[in-house]
Amino acid sequence: MPHVNIKHFPAPLDDEQTSELVSAITEAVTRAFGCAEGVVSIALEPVEQQAWQDQVYAPEIVERNHLLRKTPNY
């Protein structure tokens, strides 16, 4: 606990960018939940743009909107 799964359009993140992203997310999560860094897991899941509507938007944004803490403006 906790696990963060970031779904995104495929992006050419290099190792340094990925490391910085993971570090920033880990820091924010450990601060918010008061947990150790070692219990945080983070997944980066690329989703093709043409699949976004069916794989992410409908099932996770529309159908689970009660869980959203930030709503997209599209």
Query: Which residues carry out catalysis?
Result: 2
- Alpha carbons within 13 A on the beta-carbon side of 70: 1
Q: Which residues is 41 bridged to in the sheet?
A: 3
First-last CA distance in the chain: 30
